[in-house]
Copies of this chain bind each other. A is one copy, B any other.
């Protein structure tokens, strides 16, 4: 994370970008790649899926925690998770960036490697087909991701039906635990529990399961802000209620117990790892509902049930679960 050498400003936009993008890998669906006014991408079924997500320095990330590589990886992960949550395969990204006068070419190239690495690991049929570089007072990363449904119906938030099973693919609470480790006064803890820190810095949502789930899921979204918040969103959009099974969620918390205890031992706080699981975001797990008689796709774990709409949208072991989590504007 020690960046040196010339700044992007010193090199100029054209030279800087040329060096940064030289490692981007091409894929078959890209008919015209970066370098012209626009890119052209093939979607054989005549529809494309599109979503955008923004990360701002000092609000959504800190440069002392995240390397350029981490940020590139995370920008890909958070965006392709939204594509996957529609049941689509990610095929193309464009990256709009604001960098500062101090941003080095080394940082930019590390960021570009992170972008490509995120694609390689999470969405190998996805190409970075374009972008834009602007200058400002803080780094901003706005990725727009595109997907192909390949003939499938898009899976909306609004299709859950009473009787459906609620299931989850991916992890919960790890990214939030990782953030608390990074923020802890005892800096050795982030090293001791670097597996959870890694989820915060470079989340690895199960993108390929989105397409798999699309065959039978009645509703789906990615848990970007928190399980509590995103369950409430799904319930509201589908006009149903969701009853989560506390025992099914305890496993997600159990693996974080040691990290919580280690943090507690070094300050005056008492942490309940279930708070990370319920109210932490950024693992980008896929939350889906499936008809009760259908087979749950491998990789998904049942964590609750959809019931008729009641007063409370979401309950956990009979207790209301408030829509609490990350708010991108007030943070």
Cα distance, A9 to B330, chains bound together (Å): 6
A49 within 8 A of B: yes
Copy count, this protein chain: 2
- Known contacts A142-B54, A327-B12, A328-B133; is-contact A38 B83 (Cβ 8 Å): yes
Chain B residue with the shortest CB-CB distance to A230: B37
Cα distance, A80 to B268, chains bound together (Å): 56
A182 within 8 A of B: no
Chain B residue with the shortest CB-CB distance to A79: B38
Cα distance, A299 to B183, chains bound together (Å): 60
Could you say which residues of chain B place their CB within 8 Å of the CB of A92? 50
A98 within 8 A of B: yes
Cα distance, A169 to B328, chains bound together (Å): 41
Could you say which residues of chain B place their CB within 8 Å of the CB of A137? 58, 137-138
Task: Point out the residue from B37, B96, B158, B221 that lies within 8 Å of A142, measured CB to CB.
Answer: B96
Could you say which residues of chain B place their CB within 8 Å of the CB of A135? 56, 59, 328-331
**Do the beta carbons of B329 and A16 come within 8 Å of each other?**
yes
Task: Point out the residue from B46, B52, B83, B329 that lies within 8 Å of A131, measured CB to CB.
Answer: B52
Could you say which residues of chain B place their CB within 8 Å of the CB of A31? 47, 154
A272 within 8 A of B: no
Cα distance, A149 to B32, chains bound together (Å): 13
**Do the beta carbons of A50 and B221 come within 8 Å of each other?**
no
6 other A-B residue contacts (CB within 8 Å) besides A31-B154, A44-B46, A54-B134? A37-B220, A51-B94, A52-B95, A55-B134, A132-B328, A137-B137
Residues of chain A at the chain B interface (Cβ within 8 Å): 8-9, 12-13, 16, 31-32, 35-60, 82-83, 85-86, 88, 92, 94-99, 129-138, 140, 142, 144-147, 149, 154, 156-158, 220-222, 237, 327-331
14 A-B pairs within 8 Å (CB atoms) are namely A13-B328, A37-B221, A38-B86, A40-B149, A40-B154, A44-B46, A54-B98, A56-B136, A96-B96, A133-B328, A133-B329, A134-B328, A135-B331, A140-B142
